[in-house]
Structure 1
Amino acid sequence: MNEQTPKSFLDNPTLYEGTYLQFLGFRLLNWKDGFVRLEMPVRDDHRNSVKYLHGGVIASLLDIAGAVCGSFGGSGEYVSVTVNLNCNFMAPHRGQTVIAEGELIRRTNTLFFAQAKLLDPDNRTLCATATGTYKPQQRGHAAATG
């Protein structure tokens, strides 16, 4: 099986040091071609004023899971930029840990399409889902073009 244990571009801090990815503090649990599972301990600065996981953090994790599931390889040479993201918030996240899973739906010559879900493992709750469209680009090109 073509699978990587948590040894990926996300494990190389020089590729995302000082970025929002580092701020979130998630880790890669499982990554293979077309699938990723991320885990993040929920901190107080991830929560909103009513102490639930903030919707922006939820959308970010769904977006990251969608982008990473279609970017298997681990070298860090390629990144995926988001073209479109549609999120559905279904239940508040109350737990201490969050799981985000991304699954590749389809790949074309220039884009790929993914779906993602966000789970509260402490309360066994599906909190949110998303579908996204992503464009893989070489790392230097993505930085130059936005």
Structure 2
Amino acid sequence: MSWQNKKQPPFNDHLGVKIDEWQEGRVVISVTVLPEHLNSHGVPHGGFITTLIDIAGSYCGLYCPYPNRRRKSLTLSLTTNFTGRAKTNQLTAIGKLTSSGHKIFYSYTEVYDSVGTLLATGQMTMRYQTGSEILEGEAIEEHPAKTHHRIKV
């Protein structure tokens, strides 16, 4: 089993995020922009672009080459700088690990459209979850118990 077969979180699947390349310290993800991803100006919503930065900025520090194992983290800080408007509906985010310690890692991400327009950059500080500090990560449960969390409003 390779990274292409590792299951993504349901939110990433919902957004249509695809992992194109993944190696230690670097990830490339892509997505097709759909109407529900647009803001009132008809361009990808800033929150959508920031979400791509969050995904790529975490994945670049979470590579795990071992079958049936994974690594997880929590976002501590994320800064986004918007630099351009998308000209196409295909977006790519490239996340690069910039530094890491035992519990904390830092990353830098760039988001482009398919003609090379730089849309945004992001810097992140992440914390490894317990068991994810090493490349081997933790075992993936074969049949994880389904839990549903409700947010009270």
Q: Shorter chain as normaliser: what TM range?
A: 0.7 to 0.9
1:51 aligns with 2:51: no
User: Are the counterparts in 2 of residues 65 and 101 from structure 1 also a CA contact under 8 Å?
Assistant: yes
Which of 15, 25, 31 is residue 22 of structure 2 equivalent to? 31
Q: By percentage of residues, which structure has more helix?
A: 1
Whether the aligned pair in 1 keeps the contact of 2:78 and 2:125 (CA below 8 Å) is yes
Specify the alignment match of 2:151 in structure 1: none
Q: TM-score, normalised by structure 1?
A: 0.81
Q: Tell me how far 1:21 sits from its aligned partner.
A: 1.5
Q: Whole-Å Cα distance in 2 between the matches of residues 76 and 45 of structure 1? A: 33
Matching residue of 1:119: 112
Shift of 1:94: 3.0
Deviations 1:6-36 (A, max 9, x none): 5253xx2xx62xx321221110000000000
Cα distance in 2 for partners of 1:47, 1:72 equals 30
Match of 2:128 among 136, 143, 146: 136
Q: Are 1:87 and 2:84 matched, yes or no? A: no
* TM-score for both structures, normalised by structure 2: 0.78
Q: List structure 1 segments (4+ residues) > 4 angstroms apart after TM superposition.
A: none
**Per the alignment, do residues 54 and 65 of structure 1 end up closer, same or farther by CA in structure 2, a change over 3 Å counting?**
same
Contact 2:98–2:108 under 8 Å retained in 1:
yes
Give the partner amino acid of 1:130. G
Aligned-pair CA distance for 1:136: 1.4
Count of matched residue positions in the alignment of Structure 1 and Structure 2: 131
Instruction: Find the residue that maps to 1:51 and give its secondary structure.
Output: coil
Quick one: percent identity of the two aligned structures?
A: 27
Distance in 2 between the 1:38 and 1:7 partners? 12
Quick one: distance in 1 between partners of 2:69 and 2:92?
23
- SS of 2:84's equivalent in the other structure is coil
- Deviation (angstroms), 1:76: 5.1
What are the within-5 Å matches in structure 2 for residues 88-103 of structure 1?
88-103=81-96
> How far off is 1:85 after superposition?
0.3
Aligned CA RMSD, in angstroms, stands at 2.3
> Gaps (5+ residues) in structure 1?
none
